[in-house]
Amino acid sequence: MANTKSPWDDDDPETPWNDNKGEKVIKFKKISKPKTPKINISPMMWVIIVVVLWALTGFYQVQTNENGVVLRFGKYVDTTEPGLHYHLPYPIEEVYKVSMTQERSINLGVNDGSYNRNYRDNAFTETHMLTGDENIVDINLTIVWRIKNAKDFLFNMREPEQTVRVAAQSVLREIVGQSQMMPIISGDRGKVEDDTKAELQRVLDDFGSGVEIVRVKLQKADPPQQVVDAFNEVQRAKADKERFKNEAEAYRNEVVPNARGQASQILQSAEAYNQAVVNKATGEADRFNSVYKAYQKGKDVTVRRLYLETMEEVLKKSDRIIIDPSAKGSNVLPVLPLNTVK
């Protein structure tokens, strides 16, 4: 016999239907979750954990290119070298890490974005300087610097980069004011760079800045744009002056030695003539003295010899013929050709 029990029989606990209420009721079995064991931590333990974690925050690492500056309640305590270190956790102590090898640069007269307030006026003020010979020169200068003392850099200057800029501008004006324009523009720029670097380093050391000037490079040194044409004309005039001067010096170097040579030749000829005349006069005087001595020894003979020598000198220059009239009728030719007698 078939089971005629109604599926909505309320007596059956397994039936999903409730005939009395006309509602479908679905029964689910409750799945039990595993129970987690409860850990009871006391407040004191929580305090210890927090203190330990807070204390661990005091460890810090300083890189090879850095120095660490330790402050205790804002006051300087120590400077640490590269490596792992520990300081009392914040807010008791704190550490500022400063790069010691990074090179920073400042450009005077170049708009690099670091100093752009009223740039046009500032650029004109920075770059145009008065030289020692009262000329204006337009200069662009690059200063490369780095930190050499982390403590001084952090605490002795409020704005280190601005301080370096102002000091560099002041020192450069002093150096340019003691120099001539032409050596700066076309001469020994290295001297201006070296002098500026040395003087700027001295000023920054006096400030206790903790900054080291690595190098100073003079990028541009020209006359102002407003007068560059006039300046070029002046330079061309100076070049012409030097050229004419050099040509004159070359002509002088050619003419003066020739004149000196001719003068020396004339002096030597005069000296030779003087020596010859003096020697001749001396010889004649000696001859006269010797004749006079002979005359004193034999006056008649000497007078006769002098007469004959004188007549010989006179008659040998004569072109006349003397005929002896007493020689007529003889075989001797009465002609004496004086011009052939020697």
What CATH number did the domain enclosing 198 receive? 3.30.479.30
Reading phi first (left if > 0) and then psi (alpha if -120 to 50, else beta), residue 22 is in left
Which residue, 223, 256, 277, sits at the end of a domain?
223
Task: Flag whether pLDDT at 11 surpasses 60.
Answer: no
Tell me the pLDDT band of 313, cut-offs 50, 70 and 90: confident
Q: Sorting pLDDT into bands at 50, 70 and 90, what band is 321?
A: low
Domain boundary pick from 178, 200, 223: 223
Percentage of the chain exceeding pLDDT 70:
75
Residue 139 lies in a domain: yes
Q: What pLDDT shows up at residue 116? A: 47
Residues 234 and 189 in one domain: no
What is the domain extent for residue 251? 225-297
CB contact at 8 A, 161 and 238: no
- 114 with 186, same domain? yes
Band (pLDDT 50/70/90 cuts) for residue 120 is: very low
Average pLDDT over residues 266-284: 91
If asked whether residues 75 and 62 sit together in one domain, one would say yes
Q: What is the pLDDT of residue 270?
A: 92
The answer to whether residues 117 and 200 belong to one domain is: yes
What's the pLDDT score for residue 183? 75
Does 283 score more than 60 pLDDT? yes
The pLDDT value given to residue 329: 58
Q: Span 71-84, mean pLDDT? A: 87
**From 2-16, 51-65, 326-340, the region with the lowest mean pLDDT:** 2-16
Residue 154 has pLDDT above 80, yes or no: yes
> Is residue 88 over pLDDT 60?
yes
Between the two ends of the chain, the Cα-to-Cα distance in Å is 211
CA 164, CA 201: separation in Å to the nearest integer?
10
When pLDDT is cut at 50, 70 and 90, the band that residue 35 belongs to is low
Tell me which of 112 and 194 has the higher pLDDT: 194
Q: Are residues 161 and 71 in the same domain?
A: no
When pLDDT is averaged across residues 328-341 and rounded to a whole number, the result is 57
Task: Evaluate if residue 112 carries a pLDDT over 50.
Answer: no
Least confident of 16-30, 79-93, 105-119: 16-30
Predicted TM-score (pTM) of this structure: 0.53
More confident residue, 22 or 78: 78
Q: Residues 294-303: what's their mean pLDDT?
A: 77
| Sequence-distant (≥ 6) Cβ neighbours of residue 96 within 8 angstroms | 68, 69, 71, 150, 154
Q: What is the mean pLDDT of residues 211-238?
A: 80
Is residue 17 one of the residues assigned to a domain? no
Q: What share of the chain is helix, strand, coil (3-state, %, to 5)?
A: 50, 20, 30
Q: Does 249 lie in the same domain as 167? A: no
Report whether pLDDT(32) > 50. Answer: yes
Q: How far apart are CA 103 and CA 248, in angstroms?
A: 54
116 and 175 part of one domain? yes
Residue where one domain finishes, among candidates 82, 99, 116: 99
Sorted by sequence, the CB contacts under 8 Å of residue 204 that are 6+ apart come out as 163, 164, 167, 211, 213
- Please check whether residues 135 and 172 belong to one and the same domain: yes
The confidence score (pLDDT) of residue 290 equals 83
Is residue 31 one of the residues assigned to a domain? no
| Per-residue pLDDT at 327 | 58
> Is 155 a domain residue?
yes
Residue 259 placed within a domain: yes
Q: Is residue 92 part of a domain?
A: yes
pLDDT score for 202: 92
Higher pLDDT, 8 or 145: 145
Total domains, the chain: 4
Q: What integer is the mean pLDDT of 204-209?
A: 88
pLDDT classification of 8: cutoffs 50, 70, 90? very low
Q: Is residue 33 situated within a structural domain? A: no
Burial 106-116 (b: 16+ CB within 10 A, else e): bbbbbeeeebe
**Is residue 7 a part of any domain in this protein?**
no
Residue 49 shares a structural domain with residue 110:
no
